[in-house]
């Protein structure tokens, strides 16, 4: 397993030379545990899940020097010890640009090996080649839209005390959606835009409070995966649902989008369908 690093030493916010030939050392893993301890996660994880990465700028050369293109989907388990910093991920993928490979299987083998080493766990990699591009579907997440609510907002740092529920109400099974999630990169402060889908079974969450809470991430600096885990833990601690799933779809940066999903009940993983903003 590749040794993890700390965010301040990542390529983020620094000039970087783009290498056009294969270089797996460009990947920059960062341990998950440090940020998890901030939100009270110690020992056994209170959820399972995945981080779904979609890479839209994947290109390499065939053995005759002709460029090839594809979309790569990488699925990393939430219990992997590391995340990979996104700029380093982009630099790594760009290192294939002038690399000759026999076929897509050769590319897949390198991606699976290198990324599994970086995340510290086995990852799944799927390539969508150009002949399949026309089959790509755009679909918005299903659920009751929180953004319909006319609210006044004053908090722009995570405010979990906004999360409330009537513990005496009859439990419900609901899916709620908001497109107003925004946070900022932990290192550069650049904005990260996302949509979030929350599925829970339990006493009803106050919807206005939940929307205000999600908006309160607007000035918060944290990586995508960390934001989703913070949302999951805050809802569990303040609303105590019997079952909870949090799934965020972030818009892409540098040809990459990251879509973390955390859940504490059995069921199929979420769809990887693109949204309009992706």
What single-letter DSSP state applies at residue 197? E
Paired sense of beta strands 67-77 and 124-129, if any: antiparallel
Catalytic residue, candidates 79, 150, 173, 192: 192
Active site residue 185: yes
Catalytic residue, candidates 103, 150, 166, 185: 185
Helices within the chain (DSSP H only):
33-38, 86-94, 104-119, 207-215, 224-239
Phi, psi of 147 (to 5 degrees): -65, -10
Q: In the Cβ-directed half-sphere of 194, how many Cα atoms lie within 13 Å?
A: 28
Listed in order, strand segments (DSSP E) in the chain are: 29-31, 48-61, 67-77, 82-84, 124-129, 144-145, 172-184, 191-202, 243-250, 256-263
Torsion-angle region of 91 (φ positive above 0: left; ψ -120 to 50: alpha; else: beta):
alpha
Phi, psi of 72 (to 5 degrees): -105, 135
**Cα distances (Å, whole numbers) of residue 26 to 21, 23, 31, 96, 125:** 11, 6, 16, 12, 18
Active site residue 239: no
Paired with 256 in beta bridges are 55, 253
Q: Which two tokens stand for residue 211?
A: 């929307």
Point out the residues that are catalytic: 185, 192
């Amino acid at each position: 397993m590749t040794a993890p690093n700390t965010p301040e030493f990542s390529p983020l916010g620094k000039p970087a030379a783009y290498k056009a030939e294969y270089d797996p050392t460009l990947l920059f893993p960062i341990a998950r545990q440090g940020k998890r301890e901030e939100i009270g996660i110690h020992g056994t994880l209170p959820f399972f899940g995945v981080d779904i990465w979609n890479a839209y700028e994947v290109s390499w050369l065939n053995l005759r020097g002709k460029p090839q293109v594809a979309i790569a989907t990488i699925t990393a388990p939430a219990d992997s010890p590391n995340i990979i910093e996104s700029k380093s991920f982009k630099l790594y993928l760009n290192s294939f640009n002038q690399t000759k490979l026999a076929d897509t299987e050769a590319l897949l083998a390198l991606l699976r090996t290198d990324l599994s080493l970086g995340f510290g766990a086995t990852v799944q990699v799927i390539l969508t080649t150009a002949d399949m591009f026309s089959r790509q579907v755009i679909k918005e997440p299903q659920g009751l839209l929180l953004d319909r609510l006319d609210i006044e907002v004053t908090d722009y740092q995570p405010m979990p005390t906004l999360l409330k529920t009537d513990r005496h109400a009859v439990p419900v099974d609901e899916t709620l959606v908001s497109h107003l999630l925004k946070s900022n990169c932990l290192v550069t402060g650049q904005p990260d835009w996302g949509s979030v889908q929350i599925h829970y079974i339990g006493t009803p969450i106050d919807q206005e409070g939940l929307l205000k809470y999600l908006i309160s991430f607007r000035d918060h600096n944290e990586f995508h995966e960390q934001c989703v885990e913070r949302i999951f833990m805050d809802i569990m601690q303040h609303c105590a649902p019997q079952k909870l799933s949090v799934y965020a779809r972030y818009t892409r940066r540098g040809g990459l989008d990251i879509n973390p999903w955390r859940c504490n009940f059995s069921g199929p993983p979420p769809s990887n369908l693109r949204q309009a903003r992706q």
